[in-house]
Amino acid sequence: MKVEKKEEELTANDRLVLVSVGYTGCRWCTTMDDGTYANPDIVSYLNSNYICIKVDKNLHPQVDHILSTTVQAMIGTSNWPLTVILTPDLKPFVGAGFLPPDRFMNALTNINNKWINARSEVVTEADRVFHALHEYSKMDTSIRIDKTESSEWIDLVFDAIVNGVGECERSFDSEFGGFHGNEKSQESFKFIRPGTLQMLMLIGYGLKLNEVSSRARVMLNKTVESILDRALFDHVEGGFFRAVNPSFELPIFEKSIVDQAQLTAMLCDISRNLEESEDGNARSELQHRIRESVERTMDYCMSELRSLNGLFVVGQDSDSALPYGGDAGQIQEGAYYVFPQWEIQLVCGGDHSMEYKCLQMVYGVSMDGNMKGEIGSLYEGANLLYRIKSNAHVANLLQIESSQVEEYATRARNRLKECRRSRPKPVLDTLTLTSANGMMVCALMKAASLVPSRRKEYCKGAELVAELIWKNAVVIDPNNSVNVLDIARVIYEDGVDSELEWVPGIGEDCAWIVSAFLDLYESEVDDGDIAQKSVWLSRAIQVQTYLDRKYFSDSLGGYLWGDQSDKTLFVMGKRCYDSEEPCVTSQTALNLIRLHSISNDALYLKRFEKIMISHGKVLLKATLSMPSLLSAAIVSLDKHELETRINADTQ
Q: Which domains does the chain have, with CATH numbers?
A: 4-137 (3.40.30.10)
Q: Is the model more confident about 278 or about 323?
A: 323
Whether residue 492 has pLDDT greater than 90: no
> Residue 564: what pLDDT?
63
Whether residue 373 has pLDDT greater than 60: no
* Residues 191-225: tens digit of each pLDDT: 999 999 999 999 999 888 888 999 999 999 999 99
> Residue 648: what pLDDT?
73
> Residue 155: what pLDDT?
82
Nearest-angstrom CA–CA distance, 500 and 483: 24
Helix, strand, coil shares of the chain as percentages rounded to 5?
Answer: 55, 10, 35
Whether residue 2 has pLDDT greater than 50: no
H/E stretch holding 482: strand 480-487
> Residue 183: what pLDDT?
53
Residue 429 vs residues 231, 246, 256, 301, 425: alpha-carbon distances, Å: 23, 27, 9, 13, 12
> Residue 142: what pLDDT?
54
Whether residue 368 has pLDDT greater than 50: yes
Are the CB atoms for 139 and 572 separated by under 8 Å? no
Query: 483: Cβ–Cβ under 8 A, 6 or more apart, which residues?
Result: 476, 477, 542
Mean pLDDT is lowest, of 372-381, 501-510, 551-560, 635-644, for: 372-381
> Residue 645: what pLDDT?
74
Q: Is the model more confident about 148 or about 354?
A: 354
Are the CB atoms for 601 and 592 separated by under 8 Å? no
In this structure, what are the phi and psi dihedrals at residue 553, rounded to the nearest 5 degrees?
A: -110, 115
Whether residue 173 has pLDDT greater than 60: yes
> Residue 28: what pLDDT?
83
CA 281 to chain centre: 32
Nearest-angstrom CA–CA distance, 234 and 228: 9
> Residue 135: what pLDDT?
77
| Percentage above 70 pLDDT, the chain | 88
Q: Show the DSSP H helices in 325-401 as ranges.
A: 341-347, 354-363, 391-398
Mean pLDDT for all residues in the chain: 88
Are the CB atoms for 515 and 262 separated by under 8 Å? no
Are the CB atoms for 198 and 272 separated by under 8 Å? no
Nearest-angstrom CA–CA distance, 568 and 566: 6
> Residue 462: what pLDDT?
96
Are the CB atoms for 309 and 279 separated by under 8 Å? no
Q: Is the model more confident about 572 or about 150?
A: 572
Are the CB atoms for 78 and 72 separated by under 8 Å? yes
Query: 369: Cβ–Cβ under 8 A, 6 or more apart, which residues?
Result: 340, 341, 376, 379, 380, 381, 382, 383
* Residues 463-473: tens digit of each pLDDT: 999 999 999 99
Whether residue 478 has pLDDT greater than 80: yes
The model's confidence at residue 571, banded by pLDDT at 50, 70 and 90, is: low
The model's confidence at residue 569, banded by pLDDT at 50, 70 and 90, is: low
CA 631 to chain centre: 17
The predicted model gives 624-640 an average pLDDT of 91
Residue 631 vs residues 235, 242, 274, 289: alpha-carbon distances, Å: 30, 23, 17, 25
Nearest-angstrom CA–CA distance, 567 and 564: 8
Neighbours of 462 (CB within 10 A): 27
Nearest-angstrom CA–CA distance, 104 and 451: 51
H/E stretch holding 179: none
pTM of the model: 0.91
The predicted model gives 545-555 an average pLDDT of 92
> Residue 627: what pLDDT?
96
Residue 487 vs residues 24, 142, 480, 508, 514: alpha-carbon distances, Å: 23, 30, 16, 11, 12
Mean pLDDT is lowest, of 495-499, 612-616, 630-634, for: 495-499
The model's confidence at residue 567, banded by pLDDT at 50, 70 and 90, is: low
Nearest-angstrom CA–CA distance, 322 and 610: 54
Nearest-angstrom CA–CA distance, 430 and 314: 6
The model's confidence at residue 4, banded by pLDDT at 50, 70 and 90, is: very low
Mean pLDDT is lowest, of 93-102, 376-385, 433-442, 452-461, for: 376-385
The predicted model gives 629-634 an average pLDDT of 96
SS3 assignment, position 119: helix
The model's confidence at residue 377, banded by pLDDT at 50, 70 and 90, is: low
* Residues 123-158: tens digit of each pLDDT: 999 999 888 887 776 665 555 544 434 566 788 898
The model's confidence at residue 289, banded by pLDDT at 50, 70 and 90, is: very high
Nearest-angstrom CA–CA distance, 455 and 447: 8
Residue 388 vs residues 277, 384, 411, 494, 505: alpha-carbon distances, Å: 28, 12, 18, 48, 44
User: In 550-581, which positions are buried (b, 16+ CB within 10 angstroms) versus exposed (e)?
Assistant: bbbeeebbbbbbbbeeeeebbbbbbbbebeeb
Are the CB atoms for 85 and 111 separated by under 8 Å? yes
Q: Is the model more confident about 281 or about 142?
A: 281
* Residue-wise DSSP of 591-651: HHHHHHHHH--HHHHHHHHHHHHHTHHHHHH-GGGSHHHHHHHHHHS-HHHHHHHHHHHT-
> Residue 512: what pLDDT?
98
H/E stretch holding 555: none
Q: Are strands 50-56 and 16-22 parallel, antiparallel or unpaired?
A: parallel
> Residue 533: what pLDDT?
85
Q: Identify the top-confidence range among 228-237, 496-505, 527-536, 561-570.
A: 228-237
Are the CB atoms for 411 and 362 separated by under 8 Å? no
Whether residue 552 has pLDDT greater than 90: yes
Are the CB atoms for 427 and 321 separated by under 8 Å? no
Q: Name which of 317, 288, 342 is nearest 25 in CA terms.
A: 317
Torsion angle of the four alpha carbons 239, 240, 241, 242, in this order, in degrees rounded to the nearest 10: -130
> Residue 72: what pLDDT?
84
Is the preceding omega at residue 81 within 30 degrees of 0, hence cis?
yes
* Residues 399-454: tens digit of each pLDDT: 999 999 999 999 999 999 999 999 999 999 999 999 999 999 999 999 999 999 99
Residue 340 sits at the vertex; the CA angle it makes with 334 and 344, to the nearest 5 degrees, is 110
